[in-house]
Amino acid sequence: MTHEVAPDRLHLTLFISGASPASTRAVRRLRDLCDRNYPDGYDLEIVDVYQQPALVTSRGVVAVPTLIKDLPLPIRLLVGDFADESAVLTALGLPEPTAA
Amino acid sequence: MTSPDVAGRGGPARVMLPKSLTGIDGFDEITEGGLPTGRPTLVCGPAGSGKSLFALQFLVNGATRYGEPGVFLTFEEARDDLVANTSSLGLDLAGLERDGKLLIDGVTLQPETIVETGDFNLEALMVRVAWAVEKIGAKRVAIDNVESLFVTFANRPAMIRSELQRLFRWLKANGLTAVITGERGVDTLTRHGMEEYLADCVVLLDQRVVQEVTTRRLRVLKYRGSIHGTNEYPFLIGLDGMEVLPITSLTMDQQVSDERLSSGMPGLDEMLGGLGVFRASSILISGTSGTGKTTLAANFANAACERGERVLFFSFEESPAEILRNMASVGLDLARWVAAGLLHFHCERPTTLGVEARLVTMQRLIHQIAPMLVIIEPVSSLSSDTQGPDASAMIVRQIHYLKSAGITTVLTSLTGSGSGEPSAQHISSLVDTWVLVRTLEGSGERNRGLYVLKSRGMAHSNQIREFILSDNGVRLVPVYIGPAGVLTGSARAAEETIERDIIAGLDEKAAQLAAALEGRREAVEAHVAAIRTDFETEESLTRRLVETTEERRVALQSERTAEGHKRTAASTVNSPSRERPGDPREGASR
């Protein structure tokens, strides 16, 4: 995911803890949600906190799962396993699912 | 609840709990060695009570003095802000970080930017701590202030609690000595009950405002497996960071000295068994205002400086300049001792600091200057701004501290105009020598009377002396005790004049008598001389008569002899008279 980032293109970083069932579930839910709502594509970087602890620190992450929406601005921090889909969409700046 | 299984260091055979020094002055003494090694300690208190500073000093001292690198996880401020804010306390956090002795992880959580979308845990936080600890090989960890997590994730307190428990277990399992700070709750030690999980050691910080002066206190509430001081101890956040009032051992094992020190006033020394006070003793000078307490204290200072000893003079009422000027007016040149570096003044208005702050400052100065004599002027000001037992306990500690350090202490105390000594009562039992200056009223004036109420270990005078301040210094004169009682001032002067007159009269009389006697003697001698002259005349006359008589007798005798010759010219001439020519009768009988 190192190609040029367009300012309007959705760029996400997801912090999870290893291959725990909760992490796997969160990744699946997020992918599913983004696939449905971003047909034009999106960038998703997945970080295992145990693999890149320095990045966890530098990004100020305390919880897993944590999703950081870097682009488009403003930066948003989402914590949780994406069970509340409407909250995720609002945070990502998308209209409510009813409008989709 | 702590889980002993993960600690792996428990065991009934252990005699001494290992401890880690905090390097916070005074705290290590209260806890007899610092915080429990390898265990988390909860430090709680209200906002602004010094929790963060405690945590930070614990780490910085660990890194700089005890070779134990530390991780500072702060939820309070960003790393850069922290570095900037603490530089004013003389802490070089950035430098320590460069040297790999410290790692600051600023966790800035902004609840408004965070959206919760479902279940989560704080594993990432655990990862951060673990990573930081591993990175610098930390032995110490401080987490400040853990309760902000409850604010950020307000609807999941149960999850946060269990996650924190996990974190504390992890710290313990890894043998990390940790300080966790928590905000004081209304009825609980911490707002979110952290004390339930951090039961090894709990330190309580407090900040109270009493009569508009802030006073800070520290108390070790709990220390599992260790004895600790249970009192509230005052502490100060000063230029050097946090200082808990160094605790003097209140055991009575201080060295005693037999050395006697002059008070600088011969009259007072005389009253104190002729030799003055004991070194390292405490002397209380109490009296109503204007009785010369400061002057007495200044004389002690002057005497010590003359011995070449350093003196620390705490004045809570006058500035150094005022004291120097006022003392110069009674013939005490203290300025030369200031110039010589022997006399140090510390003046402060009593209202600017709380009593603890003042005592801590005093002790720091005492450490710095290492005086042989400390003057506290007046000690009553230390208790005037806070109420009763609190402050007096503090003063008691201070006196003990000075005593055990071998420092002679002169305290002055202002008393009310009544005859009782209420403000000095609480310390009077503690001091060794109590000098009381009183005004003696009579004949329309007030004069100063001084007496030694008590002085341990010496035969002291029971007399009241009049205490006279003059341009040439202090004089203590025995008061005049006449039929009308104790006389001072002009009454004494008048009485003394009368006495002087009588003596003068007597002197005159004696002179007259002596003159009279002399005259009589001269007369007698003249008389004797006259008699002698008469006698001498008589004597010479008599002698003349005797001589004449003899001549006549000799003449007569020679005549008679001549006649005898004429009569016996025809017979044999037998003349024994030649042999005894002087005996005419013998010659005649033949």
Q: What is the pLDDT of residue B108?
A: 82
Give contacts of A49 with chain B, Cβ < 8 Å.
123-124, 127
The C-alpha atoms of residue A82 and residue A79 are separated, in whole angstroms, by 8
Both tokens of residue A97?
């699912």
Best of A79, A81, A82, A94 to substitute, by most chain B Cβ atoms within 10 angstroms, is A79
Structural domain range at position B473: 260-492
Do B124 and B24 share a structural domain? yes
The C-alpha atoms of residue B269 and residue B261 are separated, in whole angstroms, by 9
Quick one: CA torsion of A88, A93, A99, A100, rounded to 10 degrees?
-80
Q: What is the pLDDT of residue B41?
A: 92
Write down the architecture of domain A11-93 according to CATH. Answer: 3-Layer(aba) Sandwich (3.40)
B97 at interface of A, judged by CB pairs closer than 8 A: no
Of B114, B119, B149, the CB nearest to A77: B114
DSSP H or E run through B11:
none
Do B264 and B140 share a structural domain? no
Q: Where are the domains of chain A?
A: 11-93
Both tokens of residue B570?
């025809």
Alpha helix stretches (DSSP H) within B226-284 = 266-271
Of B115, B118, B124, the CB nearest to A62: B124
For the residues B21-50, what does the mean pLDDT come to?
Answer: 86
Q: Considering chain B, what is the average pLDDT of its residues?
A: 80
B509, with CB counted inside 10 A (0-12, 13-18, 19+), is exposed
Both tokens of residue A94?
């998308």
Q: Mark A29-63 as b/e (b = at least 16 C-beta within 10 Å).
A: bbeebbeebbeeebbbebbbbbeebebbbebbbbb
Do B361 and B277 share a structural domain? yes
Q: What is the pLDDT of residue B173?
A: 93
For the residues B310-332, what does the mean pLDDT come to?
Answer: 88
Q: What is the pLDDT of residue B419?
A: 45
The percent of residues above 70 in pLDDT, for chain B, comes to 82
Closest C-alpha among B310, B284, B280 to residue B297: B284
Give contacts of A13 with chain B, Cβ < 8 Å.
none
Kindly state the DSSP code that residue B121 receives in the 8-state scheme.
B
Phi and psi for B76 in degrees, rounded to 5? -85, -45
Do B314 and B229 share a structural domain? no
Both tokens of residue B159?
């999850």
pLDDT of residue B389 exceeding 90, the answer is no
Last residue of a domain, one of B210, B244, B278: B244
Q: What is the pLDDT of residue A3?
A: 53
pLDDT of residue B128 exceeding 60, the answer is yes
Domain count, chain B: 2
Residue B588, SS3?
helix
Measured between CA atoms, the residue of chain A closest to residue B133 is: A53
Closest C-alpha among B145, B138, B147, B3 to residue B68: B138
Do B453 and B357 share a structural domain? yes
Contact B243, B236 (CB under 8 A): yes
Tens-place pLDDT, residues B146-203: 888 888 888 888 888 899 899 999 999 999 999 999 888 777 777 777 777 777 899 9
Answer whether B124 sits within 8 Å of A77, measured CB to CB.
Answer: no
Residue B286, SS3?
strand
Tens-place pLDDT, residues B555-568: 999 988 888 877 76
The C-alpha atoms of residue B341 and residue B338 are separated, in whole angstroms, by 5
